Homo-oligomer: A and B are copies of this chain.
Amino acid sequence: MRLVTYVSSASPSPRLGILHGDTVVDPARVLRADRAWRRGDSAADHAPEIPDEMVAFFEGGTRAHGLAEQALAIVDAAAGRGDALVDGASPAVLATDGVRLLAPVPRPRRVRDYLTYTEHAAGSGLAVPPAFAAMPICYKCNVETIIGPEEPLLWPSYTAQLDFELELGFFTSGGGRDLTPAEAEKRIAGVTIFNDVSARDIQMFEMSLTIGPSKGKDFCTAMGPCVLTMDEVDEWDVQMSASVNGEVWASGTTKNRQFSFAEVLAWASLDETVYPGEFFGLGTVGGGCGLELDRWIQPGDVVELAASGVGVLRNPVGERREAPQGSGVASYQGSPEVHVHREH
């Protein structure tokens, strides 16, 4: 099942939807519309309750998933009869070109990104120390600047080297502490595509302090277009590719990773609590960024990241911002350009 968060002219507040053919199905509205159709308008309020928000849906577990499947069956049956499903004044099934998709969880409680692919770590020119194989290691992303499909990637004033990163990651459906990998596995809701947009020059400059990136990453992150639920995911066999202006720059799979989804989550939960709706990136697929290729996106380009089953996360590249005179700090006079040359 491919879950989305959408808005439309009829629904300006974000709602949970399901991609279904060329449509977005609103499962909560479908169940209400169906109940009203069967038993009269006043019966809509007695329809089975299914969350209309993504994280609540994750927490709803198999019951929510079952109701969503029921909603899809109702949609197919209604289509067979030629009936439109309407909940009050709101359509329960919308054409995909009539909605706007947001990031699946517009502001996750936390977003962490782990280095789990050996190839990316080596290809970026970073040393790969023993700690890499011992435990999943992450940095923390900025939950305030997440964008969805079609929104422009923000190009900060202070960088000359904007870059994309081709990544997959998962959302948690449940929380806990001190989880074993077996327990963690039951708390994974599904996956989405994660474009960990990076300003490479300043990122490498600031990471010389070894405490991680901030200005190099925090300005913008793109996620979407949907969450593919785990019942349809083979975590070791997702095919991924990155295209710029229609040309494939990189492709790979999720197979060459040091740790499973469940191991990443179990490790994160050791001695500290994780919560439903958190996002865990798995790092960049080997070769899946401009840095590793020494090819650089420009304003006006269109970046498309694809993952089998999930779809395509498409974003245009914005114009470089101009910061007002006197903003920031006077001591910052730019970062050295970075160019990593891979040996073949």
A residues engaging B (CB < 8 A)? 110, 112, 115, 121, 126-127, 129-140, 142, 144-145, 154, 156-158, 178-182, 205-215, 218-219, 259, 263, 266-267, 269-273, 275, 321, 323-324, 326-329, 331-333, 335
Contact = CB atoms under 8 A, between A and B. Distances in A.
7 contacts: A129-B209, A130-B208, A131-B205, A135-B329, A137-B206, A140-B212, A180-B327
Contacts of A138: 211, 214
Contacts of A207: 210-211
A157 B209 contact: no
Contacts of A329: 135-136, 181, 259, 263, 266-267
Contacts of A157: 270-271
Contacts of A263: 329
Contacts of A178: 323-324, 327-328
Given A140-B214, A144-B110, A131 B269 contact: no
Nearest to A331: B134
A214 B141 CA distance: 12
A329 B132 CA distance: 13
A65 B137 CA distance: 44
Contacts of A266: 327-329
A267 B211 contact: no
Contacts of A127: 208
Contact of A133 (B259, B275, B326, B331): B331
A182 B266 CA distance: 45
A219 B272 contact: yes
A131 B208 contact: yes
A130 B204 CA distance: 12
A179 B135 contact: no
A140 B215 CA distance: 12
Contact of A332 (B135, B179, B208, B321): B135
Contacts of A209: 115, 121, 126, 129, 131-132, 137
Contacts of A126: 209-210
